[in-house]
A and B are shown apart, each in its own frame.
Chain A
Amino acid sequence: MAVPEPSPGDARSQGMTLQQRRVVWAWVFMSPVLLALLAVALWPLVTTFLASLTDASISGGDGRLVGLSNFLHQGATGWGGVLASHEWWRSVGNTALFTLVTVGAETIIGMLLALVLNSRLRGSRPLRAAVLIPWAIPTVVSSEIWTWMLQQQGGILNLLMLDAHLIRQPIDWLSDPSLMLPAVMMVDIWKTTPFMALLILAGLQTIPRDVYEAARIDGVGPLKTFFRVTLPLVWPAVLVAVIFRMLDALRVFDLIYVMTGAVPQTETMAVYIQSHLVGFGEIGYASAASVVMFLIMALLLVAIIWSGHKRLLGESR
């Protein structure tokens, strides 16, 4: 690319130092991306925030400005608004539990899987491709498949377990209140562990072999090698993978929408917002809930990056 190389004479004539000119050009070159970001990220965010201040609704609300009352207001029968909604906080709780369990399990299983794939076993290449299959199936499709497989009557999972004499009675995965959330979590773990494994595998492959050689020469055992060599070196990759997965898990929607619908046992933030937005047509209220969800996720992300940043910097120095 022909970047005009500023000559000292030029700079002096325009009253700019080399450094200043570089800054200007940097902004010029970055501007297309910044504009695109403004259009696709900031614009929806701003409109959602503006909508959250109105009483807009699908059935012909006129979108009057109502201030913060979608968030919190004192009505005749007590507090109202998203922040006072028992159902909202219950779905926040469900989301938190869902995220904690699925991301935790996916990280551990994904790490194990990555270690297996990284070892130079015969057939690990086709295995790598095969592992990705759950991730490659669109979530709605795999949720629908799992819904059928988990059916109490005629679901293949129950049939197999009955045949193997593992259970006496078919398990009603999706209609036993205590099993609904675990069943959904199980499917999510099945689906996204490959993603986790692949990201960690990429991290593992950047670790130079000679580190392991050195460890072997020093007579370090395999467990100690893992905890003292592999884990610290792959940690940045794991952290990135965890952040990705966490953001994904916090806005989980399709899986739950398909498998159970919006029921108290499994309703998450995104499902709650969708049923208010699409189901009930409450654009204002649903936007307010979206803003709260955005703030929760943003705060969490800042906290993680902030705490992880120090460690990342510490290692690279």
Chain B
Amino acid sequence: MKANHVVAIGAAIVLGATLGFGRASHAAGKTVSIACGSEGATNYNLCVKASKQWAQQTGNQVKFITTPASSSERLALYGQWMAAHADIDVLMTDVFYPGVLEKGLVDLRPYLEEDETELFPAYLKINTLDGKLLAVPWFAAVGVMYYRKDLLQKYHLDPPQTWADLEKDAKLVQTEERAAGNRNFWGYVWQGKAYEGLTCNAVEWLASYGAGSVVALDGKVTVDNPRAIAALTMAKSWVGKISPRGVLSSEEPQTLQVFYAGNALFLRSWPYVWSVAQAPDSPLAGKVGIVPIPKGPGAEGEHTGAIGGWSLAVSKYGKHRKDAIDLVKYLTSSEVQRMRFLEGALMPTRMALYEDQAVLAKEPAMKIFYDAILSASPRPSAQTGAKYNRVSSVLYTGLHQMLLGESDPQATVASIAAKLDELSDNGKDW
């Protein structure tokens, strides 16, 4: 074990030195380790920046551990750390991690009392299990609808309120624009590849139709219902009509590319697109508008985007719990979240920041994101816990087959429901 320690200390020193912590004396502080994303990402760079500030203020040191970019692979790595009781203090967690990692995370509620009312309730909810707050919301993401302001004006249309509006506008503008010479123009692009992004889209379709959240909060599988079938019938009808078949192999970058190139009227995506589209060198600067996800028909219809974003959790197996909690509090503080928004367009999780002067000066459209997050729909992760990845995979694989044209909506929801029932002993054992 001694040799092990020497190696670990050696590694820490080398790592510390390369990261600029190589001070003459290491005597003062402790070394808190944090896994906050993957090298090169805006989020990671800003995490390093803020953590270093914290280190300087407290006399501690921070060790950064990079993790895979893919969310499911990151979760798998965390799982291995937990199983090995690895000494890692702070983990950046996706919205569905708490259910999986529950046993290994510290309840942060006692340490955050006064802060809780300032954070979006939706984010607190997805991070809370059995009354324990397992992670502190750090930055937000929510599904929103982008549209081409210039084109809607050109054809005297208003931004869509319902899916029916969106379909109508998409058809009209698509026909007209193609007649005007842009043969590659499409009405609506979204993420339809068989992956987590399709689950997000589907959660929005279902919720906006008032068709539930696939699995109800009590664990019962509810996806097989008439409103869900109506929502999916609508989505299926888009493919090849107002949406290119190519959306079925598209993730966010591919859909953004179509929109960015001026070949689509509507795009469903996340908040980051806004800063990309509004950048001074963007061909779309000043031509893009943003609305909440359209609602379905009838009284049950509502505007609701899928909720995404990341939180910070503290591992039970880290050696410096007190300092780790202090670091989490610092990183999720108002000042750091403001800095992260101003420098990296990362959406805050503190509601007050959406009315902050500096934030509004940079981005006047904050109100739209604020409303979207308030009315957002979570994926069914809280109720399915450790099996969430299975649930999502059943959902997106089934829906992808339906969108490809291999099955109809009725049969699809029936088979998804059957698989989920089998997975959970009819909703009793998640």
Q: How far is A262 from B396 in the complex, measured between Cα atoms in Å?
A: 10
* Cβ contact within 8 Å between B248 and A175: yes
Of the candidates A77, A147, A148, A278, which one forms a contact with B72 in the assembled complex, judged by CB atoms under 8 Å apart? A278
Please, which residues of chain B bring their CB within 8 A of the CB of A254? Answer: none
Query: Counting CB contacts under 8 A, is A263 at the interface?
Result: yes
> Is B263 a contact partner of A177 (Cβ separation < 8 A)?
no
Q: A275 at the A/B interface (Cβ < 8 Å)?
A: yes
Kindly state the separation between the CA atoms of A177 and B184 in the bound complex, as whole angstroms: 22
> What's the least CB distance linking B185 to chain A, in Å?
10
Within 8 A of B (CB), among A238-296: 260-264, 275, 277-281
| Chain B residues whose C-beta falls within 8 Å of the C-beta of A148 in the assembled complex | 254
Q: Which of B184, B244, B249, B393 meets A147, CB within 8 Å?
A: B249
Smallest distance from the beta carbon of B417 to chain A beta carbons, Å? 14
- Shortest CB-to-CB span from A73 to chain B, Å, is 14
B125 within 8 A of A: no
- Residues A58 and B83 in contact, CB atoms below 8 Å apart: yes
- Docked-complex contact A262 and B194, CB < 8 angstroms: yes
Partner of A60, one of B82, B393, B406: B82
| B387: min CB distance to chain A, Å | 8
Min CB gap A297→B, angstroms: 24
Q: Say yes or no: A175 contacts B246, CB within 8 Å.
A: yes
Interface-located stretch among B15-23, B73-81, B144-152: B73-81
- Provide the A47-60 mask, 1 if CB < 8 A to any CB of B, else 0: 00000000001111
**Separation in Å of the A208 CB from the closest CB of chain B?**
51
Assess whether A124 is interfacial by the CB under 8 Å rule. Answer: no
**Bound: A294/B246 CA distance, A:** 36
Contact with B along A19-56 (1 / 0, CB 8 A): 00000000000000000000000000000000000000
- State in angstroms the CA–CA spacing of A178 and B390 once bound together: 26
Smallest distance from the beta carbon of B80 to chain A beta carbons, Å?
7
Encode A155-181 as 1/0 by CB contact (under 8 A) with B: 100000000000000101111110000
Given A60-B82, A60-B83, A277-B76, list of 10 further CB < 8 A pairs? A60-B386, A151-B254, A152-B249, A153-B263, A172-B244, A172-B245, A175-B404, A260-B249, A280-B389, A281-B100
Contact A176 B397 (CB under 8 A): no
What 1/0 flags go to B370-411 for Cβ under 8 Å of A? Answer: 000000000000000111011001000100110011100000
Tell whether, in the assembled complex, residue B73 and residue A278 are in contact, meaning their CB atoms are under 8 Å apart. Answer: yes
B101 touches A59 (CB 8 A): yes
In the bound complex, do residue A60 and residue B103 qualify as a contact, i.e. CB atoms below 8 Å apart?
A: yes
Question: Do B80 and A58 have beta carbons less than 8 Å apart?
Answer: yes
Q: How far is the CA of A281 from the CA of B76 in the complex (A)?
A: 7
A67 on interface, CB distance cutoff 8 Å:
no
Q: Which of A137-151 contact B (CB under 8 A)?
A: 147-148, 151
| B158 CB–A CB distance under 8 Å | no
Q: Which of A153, A264, A279 has the most CB of B within 10 A?
A: A153
Is B257 interfacial (CB-CB < 8 Å)? yes
Which residue of A has the minimal Cβ distance to B387? Answer: A280
Whether B258 pairs with A154 at a CB distance below 8 angstroms is yes
Interface contact B405-A153, CB-CB below 8 Å: no
The residue among B83, B189, B387 with the most chain A CB atoms within 10 A of its own CB is B83
- Tell me which residues across on chain A come within 8 A of B100, comparing CB atoms: 58-59, 281
Cα–Cα distance between A170 and B247 once the two chains are bound (Å): 13
B422 within 8 A of A: yes
Tell me the interface secondary structure of chain B in the complex. helix
**A152-B244, A278-B76 known; A263 vs B194 contact (CB < 8 Å):** yes
Q: Provide the bound-state CA to CA distance between A275 and B136, in Å.
A: 28
Q: Which residue of B lies closest to A177 (CB)?
A: B404
CB interface residues, B 80-107, toward A, < 8 Å: 80, 82-83, 100-101, 103-104
- CA–CA, A132 and B393, complex, Å: 37
Which of chain A's residues has its CB closest to B396's CB?
A261
Provide the residues of chain A in CB contact with B75, threshold 8 Å: 58, 281
Inter-chain CA distance A281–B397, complex, in Å, is 18
Question: With A and B bound together, what is the CA distance between A152 and B184 in angstroms?
Answer: 10
Top 7 A-B pairs, shortest CB-CB distance? A152-B246, A58-B79, A175-B248, A174-B249, A59-B386, A172-B245, A175-B249
* Minimum distance in angstroms from B383 CB to a CB of chain A: 15
**Complex Cα gap A238–B194 (Å):** 38
The yes or no answer to B270 lying at the interface (CB within 8 A) is no
Beyond A59-B101, A261-B195, A280-B393, is A154–B257 a contact (Cβ under 8 Å)? Answer: yes
B261 contacts partner chain A, Cβ-Cβ < 8 Å:
yes
- B389→A279 contact, CB < 8 A: yes
Q: Which residues of A contact B250 (CB under 8 A)?
A: 151
Q: Which residues on the A side are within 8 Å of B404 (C-beta)?
A: 175-177
B193 part of interface (Cβ distance < 8 Å)? yes
CB distance from A119 to the nearest CB of B (A): 41
- Asked, given contacts A153-B184, A281-B76, whether A262 binds B83 with beta carbons under 8 Å apart, the answer is no
Check if B186 is an interface residue, CB within 8 A of chain A: yes
Q: How far is the CB of B282 from chain A (nearest CB, A)?
A: 17
Least distance between B18 CB and chain A CB atoms (Å): 25
Contacts of A152 in B (CB 8 A): 244-246, 249
Measured between C-beta atoms, what is the minimum distance from B180 to chain A in Å?
Answer: 18
Are A153 and B244 also in contact (CB < 8 A) when A147-B249, A261-B194, A263-B194 are? yes
C-alpha spacing A264/B80, complex, angstroms: 28
Give complex CA distance A261, B244 in Å: 19
Q: Are A279 and B246 interface neighbours, CB within 8 A? A: no
B400-429 at interface with A (beta carbon < 8 Å): 400-401, 404-406, 422
**CB neighbors of A among B41-63 (8 A):** none
In the complex, what's the smallest C-beta–C-beta distance from A153 to chain B, in angstroms?
Answer: 5
**18 sampled A-B residue pairs with Cβ under 8 A:** A57-B386, A58-B83, A60-B103, A148-B254, A152-B245, A152-B246, A153-B184, A154-B261, A154-B263, A155-B246, A172-B249, A174-B249, A175-B246, A176-B245, A262-B393, A264-B401, A278-B73, A278-B76
Provide the residues of chain B in CB contact with A173, threshold 8 Å.
249
CB neighbours (8 Å) of B79 from chain A are: 58-59, 281
Contact A175 B386 (CB under 8 A): no
CA distance A154 to B258 in the complex (A): 7
Partner of A261, one of B103, B186, B193, B385: B193
On chain B, the residues within 8 Å of A59 by CB distance are: 79, 100-101, 385-386
A175-B245 contact, Cβ under 8 Å, with A58-B80, A153-B184: yes
A70 CB to closest chain B CB (Å) equals: 16
Asked if B397 contacts A153 (CB within 8 A), the reply is no
Q: Which of B242-279 contact A (CB under 8 A)?
A: 244-250, 254, 257-258, 261, 263
* A262-B70 Cα distance, complex, nearest whole Å: 15
Q: Is B194 in contact with A275, judged by CB distance below 8 angstroms?
A: no
